[in-house]
Structure 1
Amino acid sequence: MLRIKELVKRYGEEKAVLKNLNLEVPGESVVSIIGASGAGKSTLLRCINRLVEPSSGSIELNGTELTKLEGKALRLARRRIGMVFQGFNLIDRLTVMENVQSGRLGYLPAWRAVTRNYPQEDIDRAFHLMERVGIAHYANKRADELSGGERQRVGVVRALMQEPEILLADEPTASLDPKTSRQIMELLRALASELHLPVLINIHNVNEAKEYTQRIVGMRFGRIIFDGEPTDLNNDAMDEIYAGVPAEERGGAESSTHLREVAAR
């Protein structure tokens, strides 16, 4: 269970990017976060894994208060938080297997990491996960030789190698074509069920959020203004979340105003 209470993030004296935000994500749920650029979606995810330091508030993962941790305790906690990035964040000159094994660095002594002397059980787990997502045959191929969808699958496996208690995905389909995007979203949904993982996805494509996630959180100006099932995300809610944003920039969803205009033609 991820439990966030009164989370605030501000940069210097500027207005807060996150404003007293409250959110709970239970196990095995797939939750998407939608909103216009600048809503605070990516900042929220980065506060959870402490890539960005919260200004105040509480972030608790399965009973551990993450905002209080420092040093070794923080490093150990980060092992429990898997992260899938929009830009893949792979090391291009390394093989798929080597990139995947980087997800185990938090568990290995330094000499194993430097010499790339991975335990057999980690190699076996990597092959199992790569087989599951369809990239096992690329194990010895360099990362820069893969397509975007294949690279993102490597990123997913790398995150799962951490044996995380939650999986965060920051715009995981933004760099992919529509067909590959659907495949990645389907994969994340299936893995959440198979591995009993809560998955929190920051996503631009509202249609994908409605199709592949069980719950949608809508953000605007650092606040949550919608939290419900995909069927509850009606046109009025969309207009509130994306107020002032043209329909064509809403990630595939149209405003009620636009729909009424179409109906009147």
Structure 2
Amino acid sequence: MLKITDLVKRYGSGEPVLKNLDLTVEGETVVSVIGSSGAGKSTLLRCINRLVEPTSGSIVLNGAELTKLRGRELRMARRRIGMVFQSFNLVDRLTVMENVMSGRLGYLSTWAAVSRRYPKEDIRRAFELMERVGIAHYADNRADGLSGGERQRVGVVRALMQQPEILLADEPTASLDPKTSEQIMQLLRDLAGELKLPVLINIHNVTEAKQYTDRIVGMRYGRIIFDDAPAALTEDAMEAIYSGSPAADRAGAGLKEAS
């Protein structure tokens, strides 16, 4: 279970990007985070895996307080947090298999990592996952020869090779065409169920959020103002999340209290 309490992120002396945010994600739930650009969605995900340092607050993953970890303890905790990126973050000159296996680097000694000596069990698991997502036949191909959807599947498998306790996805479909976007969202949903894995997705496409996720969290100016099932995302709720009017602010406060 991921439990975030009173999370604040501030850059310098400016207005906080995240404002006393509370959020709990558990089970094999697929949760989408929606909101306008600048709402704090990406910052939220990056605070969870400590790519961005929280200013204050608590982030607990299955009993471990992530905000207090440093050095080796932090590196070990990050192994348990899978991340799928909008821009794929693959090494283009490496093969699909090499990119996938990089998800195991946090579990290897320095010598084994440099020499790329992976345990047979890791290699077997990599082929199983690549077969599951439909890219096993590309194992020896360079990553830069793949389509966007294929590259994102490599990114998903790389994250799963970490054997994560939660999977974070930061705009995983933003660089993809509509059909491929739907395929990736369906894949994430299916994998959540198959692997009993909670998934937290930052996404701009509200239609996909409603179709492929179990719960929608709406953010505005660093606060969560909506947290409910997709069916509860009414036009009024959308107005509160995306409009900048004072009336929408009051509506959003009401929505948060109701949820």
CA distance in 2, matches of 1:244, 1:210: 22
Structure 2 equivalent of residue 227 of structure 1? 227
> C-alpha displacement at 1:118, in angstroms?
1.4
CA distance in 1, matches of 2:123, 2:17: 41
Does residue 180 (structure 1) correspond to residue 180 (structure 2)? The answer is yes
Does residue 76 (structure 1) correspond to residue 87 (structure 2)? The answer is no
Structure 2 equivalent of residue 98 of structure 1? 98
Structure 2 equivalent of residue 66 of structure 1? 66
SS of residue in 1 equivalent to 2:57: strand
Structure 2 equivalent of residue 85 of structure 1? 85
- Show the 5 A alignment for 1:111-190: 111-190=111-190
Which contiguous aligned blocks of 4+ residues in structure 1 show a shift greater than 2 angstroms? none
Deviations for 1:54-92, whole angstroms, at most 9, x for unmatched residues?
Answer: 000000000000000000000000000000000000000
Structure 2 equivalent of residue 209 of structure 1? 209
CA distance in 1, matches of 2:187, 2:149: 11
CA distance in 2, matches of 1:27, 1:81: 15
Q: AA paired with 1:187?
A: L
CA distance in 2, matches of 1:114, 1:59: 32
CA distance in 2, matches of 1:60, 1:116: 32
> C-alpha displacement at 1:49, in angstroms?
0.1
CA distance in 1, matches of 2:92, 2:119: 23
Q: Which runs of 5+ in 1 are unaligned?
A: 246-265
Structure 1 equivalent of residue 24 of structure 2? 24
Deviations for 1:158-199, whole angstroms, at most 9, x for unmatched residues?
Answer: 000000000000000000000000000000000000000000
Q: AA paired with 2:219?
A: M
> C-alpha displacement at 1:113, in angstroms?
1.3
SS of residue in 2 equivalent to 1:117: coil
Q: AA paired with 2:24?
A: E
- Show the 5 A alignment for 1:23-42: 23-42=23-42
Compute the TM-score of the two structures, normalised by the length of structure 1: 0.92
SS of residue in 1 equivalent to 2:159: helix
Quote the sequence identity (%).
78
Q: Which runs of 5+ in 2 are unaligned?
A: 246-259
RMSD value, Cα = 0.8
- Show the 5 A alignment for 1:234-245: 234-244=234-244
Q: AA paired with 1:229?
A: A
Q: How many residues in Structure 1 have an aligned counterpart in Structure 2?
A: 245
Q: AA paired with 1:241?
A: I
CA distance in 2, matches of 1:50, 1:2: 14
> C-alpha displacement at 1:244, in angstroms?
4.2
CA distance in 1, matches of 2:37, 2:13: 21
Q: AA paired with 1:15?
A: E
Q: AA paired with 1:28?
A: E
Structure 1 equivalent of residue 198 of structure 2? 198
SS of residue in 1 equivalent to 2:19: strand
SS of residue in 2 equivalent to 1:3: strand
Compute the TM-score of the two structures, normalised by the length of structure 2: 0.94
CA distance in 1, matches of 2:65, 2:155: 26
CA distance in 2, matches of 1:176, 1:190: 19
CA distance in 2, matches of 1:143, 1:112: 23
